């Protein structure tokens, strides 16, 4: 199980989810993706992205304008 | 209907509307959707190559080609364009805020496997030839778009 850090600070919509989508392709089921973004909309977007792509949102927090999320890649049947 | 498919008709050739449609399309692709964008009428100008391509055209076709913006970098705003000044201001602000340009969004769209379809009937009417448009396009008509739209859960006309 690998952990991948994805820095999306400074990227505007739809940058962070596009980047995350591409990075997720090279991850295996169970891998953790740790992502940081400064686009405020990302806080809601990441939840919607996880729901739609059926990945698991482990944690979501905001600290000094930086949104940090941890996502577990779920193997798609 | 497949909730994983989205279609967009890009009718407008305005900078702001091109951005909106490409951001939605890229976002949808990043959500795992199959996205089809159908470019028609003014929307075709978004797909033009920035450089001049010599083609055989009638006088009116050539005039039309000369009057329309040549590519994603030349589009104007739908509001407050002021002869291109508004668009220039918008581009400066977009750069400052690190917003992707229309060109970058198009690149990203191709990269994500979004289907970019140029409407051949509009191309004919506006005198635009395939050589004048960017690579990676499909050329088709309304039936192809409707076929895709039939299967999609979201269909936008911008």
A8 assigned to active site: no
CA A48 to centroid of chain Cα atoms = 11
Q: Which domain holds residue A62?
A: 3-72
Q: Is residue A77 one of the residues assigned to a domain?
A: no
Q: Cα–Cα distance between A57 and A7 in angstroms, integer?
A: 17
Residues of B numbered 34-93 whose beta carbons fall under 8 angstroms of chain A's beta carbons: which are they? none
Q: Cα–Cα distance between A75 and A73 in angstroms, integer?
A: 7
Total number of domains in chain A: 1
Q: Cα–Cα distance between B64 and B28 in angstroms, integer?
A: 33
Q: What pLDDT, on a 0 to 100 scale, did the predictor assign at position A77?
A: 67
The percent of residues above 90 in pLDDT, for chain A, comes to 95
Closest CA in chain B for residue A47? B31
Answer yes or no: is the ipTM higher than 0.90. Answer: no
Q: For residue range A4-22, list pLDDT tens digits in order.
A: 999 999 999 999 999 999 9
pLDDT of residue B147 exceeding 70:
yes
Q: For residue range B44-60, list pLDDT tens digits in order.
A: 999 999 999 989 999 99
Q: Where are the domains of chain B?
A: 2-157
Q: Cα–Cα distance between B77 and B87 in angstroms, integer?
A: 5
Give the closest residue to B15 by CA, choosing from B67, B62, B60, B80.
B80
pLDDT of residue A24 exceeding 90:
yes
Mean pLDDT (chain A) is 94
Residue matched to tokens 């033009």: B48
The distance of A48 to chain B (nearest Cα, Å) reads: 9
Q: Is residue A58 one of the residues assigned to a domain?
A: yes
Q: Cα–Cα distance between B69 and B76 in angstroms, integer?
A: 8
Q: What pLDDT, on a 0 to 100 scale, did the predictor assign at position B2?
A: 76
Tell me which of B1 and B43 has the higher pLDDT.
Answer: B43
Count Cβ atoms below 10 Å from residue A36 Cβ, excluding itself: 16
- In this complex, which of B27, B98, B108 lies closest to A10 when CB atoms are compared? B98
How many angstroms separate the Cα of B63 from the Cα of each of A22, B53, B124? 43, 14, 14
B27 and A17 within 8 Å at the Cβ level: the answer is: yes
The answer to whether A21 faces chain B, any CB pair under 8 Å, is yes
B30 and A20 within 8 Å at the Cβ level: the answer is: yes
CATH number at residue A41: 3.30.110.40
Q: Is residue A61 one of the residues assigned to a domain?
A: yes
Q: pLDDT class for A76, splitting at 50, 70, 90?
A: confident
Catalytic residue among A8, A13, A27, A50: A13
Q: For residue range B56-93, list pLDDT tens digits in order.
A: 999 999 999 999 999 999 999 999 999 999 999 999 99
Sign of the dihedral defined by the CA atoms of residues A52, B8, B115, B1, in that order: positive
CATH class belonging to B2-157: alpha beta
């Amino acid at each position: 199980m690998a952990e991948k850090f994805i820095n999306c600070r400074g990227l505007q919509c739809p940058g962070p989810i596009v980047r995350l989508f591409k990075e997720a392709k090279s991850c295996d089921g169970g891998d953790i993706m740790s992502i940081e973004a400064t686009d405020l909309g990302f806080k809601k977007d990441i939840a919607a992205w996880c729901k739609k792509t059926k990945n698991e949102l482990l944690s979501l927090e905001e600290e000094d304008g930086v949104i940090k999320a941890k996502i577990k890649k779920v193997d798609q049947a | 209907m497949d909730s994983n498919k989205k279609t967009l008709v890009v009718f407008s050739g305005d900078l702001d509307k091109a951005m909106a449609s490409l951001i939605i399309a890229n976002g949808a692709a990043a959500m795992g959707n199959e996205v089809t964008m159908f470019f028609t009428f003014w929307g075709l100008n978004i797909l033009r190559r920035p450089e001049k391509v010599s083609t055989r055209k009638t006088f009116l076709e050539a005039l039309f080609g000369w009057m329309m913006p040549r590519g994603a970098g030349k589009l104007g705003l739908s509001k407050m364009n002021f002869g291109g000044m508004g668009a220039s201001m918008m581009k400066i602000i977009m750069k400052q805020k690190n917003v992707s340009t229309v060109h970058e969004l198009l690149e990203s769209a191709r990269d994500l496997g979004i289907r970019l379809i140029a409407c051949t009937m509009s191309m004919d009417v506006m005198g635009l030839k395939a050589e004048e448009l960017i690579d990676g396009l499909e050329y088709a008509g309304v039936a192809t778009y409707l076929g895709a739209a039939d299967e999609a859960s979201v269909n936008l006309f911008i």
